[in-house]
């Protein structure tokens, strides 16, 4: 008779190795689940022709894709950021967009603090020194007492707040600035300051903002020049928040002391990212901040549950938009 089956879900792309968790949620509900390996718009259009829900990791979900797939009622992303999804186009077409904002809050906050301590206590530097046959604490000088330092949170949402709480527990002063001025940072125990004030005061600038047209390249040449020469930059949010070339130049010029990075604008690293990965004053991890066995299972179950909610006529638990037309 034509048309798409009402209960078909497509995973556009997934590098997790298994979809057992998603399958367990949806099979019992009599939902057909398919896994594709989409990389381009055309891939998504071809594979998604029968889908009512797209579960998405990295593949582009653009206005063109959404126009070509009129049966889609929900796009739900593995993770928090939705910068690879055209949210305004989805909203205009009556399509829900959802994420899983709380699956890895603890892990990312912990990782931000781990990178902070690794840099501030010279752990990576001293490890390399010992492996090279030295036994000299002065290789990491100068190190500072944590209680004398200020931890700056850029993006005072759930993860930024959790990171700030952990830094406060280490006796650091915590200040925060947010690209979204509506967030009540004071209520979370973070001393709210302007972005300029944060850059001028913070010994650690820790990024926890969403990536958008307004925040892309937020930490560029001007912001880096405004930081203390002794300050360190921590990024466990989105690589695109930082201008990699500007960061390299700032490190080489001594404008900032070091960086701890879990994310890059291009992953795996290429060009400037590769140079950052090899820089002696950079500690880098491979977009791993979100990961624990518990967060991994929660993420995979929750994207499937979001799919099921919408297929059964309900709103998503964690929408990032309000469609102009009700979901079909």
Task: Supply the residues annotated as catalytic.
Answer: 238, 267, 287
Q: Are 327 and 74 in contact (CB under 8 A)?
A: yes
Cα 272 to Cα 65: distance, rounded to the nearest angstrom: 31
> Residue 116: phi, psi to the nearest 5?
-60, -50
Contacts of 15 (CB under 8 A, 6+ apart): 57
**Mutual angle of helices 293-311 and 20-27, in 10-degree steps:** 30
| CA gap 191, 188 in Å, rounded | 9
- Angle 67-73-77 from CA coordinates, rounded to 5°: 95
Could you tell me if 172 and 149 are in contact, meaning their C-beta atoms sit under 8 angstroms apart? Answer: yes
**Taking the CA atoms of the chain, what radius of gyration do you get in angstroms?**
22
């Amino acid at each position: 008779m034509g048309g798409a089956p009402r209960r078909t879900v497509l995973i556009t792309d997934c590098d997790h190795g298994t979809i057992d968790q998603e399958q367990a949620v949806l099979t019992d509900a009599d939902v057909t689940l398919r896994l594709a390996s989409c990389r381009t718009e055309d891939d998504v259009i071809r594979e998604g022709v029968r889908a009512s829900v797209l579960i998405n990791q990295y593949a582009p979900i653009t206005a063109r894709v959404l126009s070509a797939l009129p049966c889609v009622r929900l796009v739900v992303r593995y993770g928090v950021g939705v910068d690879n999804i055209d949210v305004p186009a989805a909203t205009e077409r009556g399509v829900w967009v959802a994420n899983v904002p709380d699956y890895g809050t603890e892990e990312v906050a912990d990782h931000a603090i781990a990178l902070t301590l690794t840099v501030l206590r010279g752990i990576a530097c001293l490890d390399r020194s010992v492996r090279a046959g030295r036994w000299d604490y002065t290789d990491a000088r100068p190190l500072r007492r944590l209680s004398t330092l200020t931890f700056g949170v850029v993006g005072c949402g759930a993860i930024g707040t959790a990171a700030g709480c952990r830094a406060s527990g280490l006796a650091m002063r915590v200040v925060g600035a947010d690209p979204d001025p509506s967030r009540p940072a004071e209520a979370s125990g973070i001393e709210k300051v302007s972005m300029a004030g944060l850059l001028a005061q913070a010994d650690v600038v820790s990024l926890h903002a969403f990536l958008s047209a307004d925040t892309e390249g937020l930490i560029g040449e001007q912001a880096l020049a405004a930081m203390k020469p002794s300050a360190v930059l921590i990024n466990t949010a989105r690589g695109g928040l930082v201008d990699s070339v500007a960061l390299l130049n700032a490190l080489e010029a001594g404008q900032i002391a070091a960086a701890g990075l879990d994310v890059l604008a291009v992953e795996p690293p290429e060009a400037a990212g590769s140079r950052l990965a090899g820089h002696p004053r950079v500690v880098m991890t491979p977009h791993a901040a979100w990961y624990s066995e518990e967060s991994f299972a929660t993420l995979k179950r929750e994207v499937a549950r979001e799919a099921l909610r919408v297929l059964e006529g309900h709103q998503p638990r964690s929408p990032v938009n309000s469609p102009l037309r009700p979901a079909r």
